Amino acid sequence: MVCQFLGHSVCVDVAVNDVLKHCSLVGVNIAHIEKKMAEERSATSQLSVDMTTTGMTGGNTMTSSSSRDAEFYFQCAVLIIGVVGTATNALILYALVASKQHKKHVLIVNQNALDLFSSFFTVVSYSLKLRNIRLSGSLGYWLCTLLLSESLVWCGAVGSNISLASITIERYLKVAHPVWSKNKLRRWMIYLAMAFSWIGSFVYNAASVVPTTAVVDGTCYAYAFFKNETDPIIHVIYSFISFYLIILLIFIFCYWRILIVIRRQARVMAGHNATAASTAQNISNKIRSNVIKTVILVSAFYAILWLPYYVYILYLSLNPHIISFDACYYALTCIAFLYTCANPFIYATKFSPVKQVLLRLIRVKTTSE
């Protein structure tokens, strides 16, 4: 029997008494659980009779085995994505430093650093999950709280979302309000935004995971023990609004305003003379194309890949008595984490110095071979 909770991880099978005891702490309907367990026992008994009578073998076991296999393969897929994300983000960070762009584009460096952090701990967390270790003592508790709960993974992911919004707002200010940006936007403000993306993310995740996570009979239960039924719903809705919906609205507003400003500037320049108009049109088309690509690659890519995950956890939060499936959670996590792999290329490869560093690395490797 699965004790379903709302959050970033999924409970696993435990003894009947422990399930009832701990599910009661989060406001789960125990009568509903007992009824479901009775139905499962009845179904299992009936299946055993049917198998004996008809000579069939492996019916119910095959279904359970298929679910476990799917869960295992999706966990492996997330692990592979973490490995790729770690390698690509580390490579882009190296290219940014080697091309001396890290001082000019500190927010982009911060973005890649957060994605690298998230990808690295994805590898660590899912390596431990696949080992299925039994936890005990203080070490077991902290392994559960920090790694098996994926808390550190989500620290990087949430921080990356905050940093993404900071980059968008900075670009909007520099294009739409160039005078104000030049006079008022100080370096310390950029560093403050960077610090907030790290500190805010760690504080939010620590406040979410520490009071709701415990180790029971050697098994990690993350985001499982809420005081009442309302708390997990509030947690999920807040997460959806803060780290998905608001960021998406920032994308739409800022890039839309950027497009309007670029078009206005192009019209002003076109009014000077024919040659200037031709030049202005070319520049405008190039800038507009880059902005549109950024909108598509960042906004749409982010929205599409993260939407299924948020829809799923929202659905579970509003239907607390529905049993969740590990395979479904890991499949949607796998899709969402694809964004972390692609994100460094969305930003960093647009800078020609970074491209030159990457191409030089490829040439050196090809020559050495």
> Are 222 and 209 spatial neighbours (Cβ–Cβ below 8 Å)?
yes
Which residue, among 294, 292, 301, has the nearest Cα to 341 in the 3D structure? Answer: 301
Q: Which of 6-15, 153-162, 195-204 has the least mean pLDDT?
A: 6-15
User: Which tens digits make up the pLDDT trace of 307-332?
Assistant: 999 998 888 888 877 766 677 888 88
Instruction: Please tell me the predicted confidence (pLDDT) of residue 278.
Output: 59
Gap between the Cα atoms of 285 and 267, Å rounded: 12
User: Which tens digits make up the pLDDT trace of 227-259?
Assistant: 888 888 898 999 999 999 999 999 889 888 888
User: Which tens digits make up the pLDDT trace of 166-200?
Assistant: 988 988 898 888 889 888 888 999 999 999 999 99
Handedness of CA 93, 123, 165, 291 (dihedral sign): positive
Most confident of the ranges 30-39, 174-183, 269-278: 174-183
Gap between the Cα atoms of 215 and 142, Å rounded: 9
Which residue, among 249, 239, 355, has the nearest Cα to 302 in the 3D structure? Answer: 249
What is the average pLDDT across 140-152?
94
Gap between the Cα atoms of 169 and 183, Å rounded: 16
Is the pLDDT at 100 greater than 70, yes or no?
Answer: yes
Name the amino acid, one letter, at 246: I
> Are 193 and 166 spatial neighbours (Cβ–Cβ below 8 Å)?
yes
Residue 219, H or E segment: strand 219-221
> Are 118 and 155 spatial neighbours (Cβ–Cβ below 8 Å)?
yes
Q: Could you tell me which residues are beta bridge partners of residue 221? A: 214
Handedness of CA 357, 358, 359, 362 (dihedral sign): positive
User: Given pLDDT bands bounded at 50, 70 and 90, which one contains residue 151?
Assistant: very high
Is the pLDDT at 62 greater than 50, yes or no?
Answer: no
Instruction: Please tell me the predicted confidence (pLDDT) of residue 205.
Output: 94
Instruction: Please tell me the predicted confidence (pLDDT) of residue 115.
Output: 92
Angle at the Cα of 220 (from 215 to 223), degrees rounded to 5? 95
Domains and CATH numbers, the chain: 70-134+149-210+226-368 (1.20.1070.10)
Percent share of the chain, pLDDT over 70: 70
Mean pLDDT (the chain) is 76
Task: Tell me which residue has tokens 């431990």.
Answer: 128
Handedness of CA 266, 267, 268, 270 (dihedral sign): positive
Q: Could you tell me which residues are beta bridge partners of residue 220? A: 215
Gap between the Cα atoms of 118 and 82, Å rounded: 8
Instruction: Please tell me the predicted confidence (pLDDT) of residue 59.
Output: 32
> Are 79 and 336 spatial neighbours (Cβ–Cβ below 8 Å)?
no
User: Given pLDDT bands bounded at 50, 70 and 90, which one contains residue 114?
Assistant: very high
Gap between the Cα atoms of 149 and 8, Å rounded: 7
Is the pLDDT at 143 greater than 90, yes or no?
Answer: yes
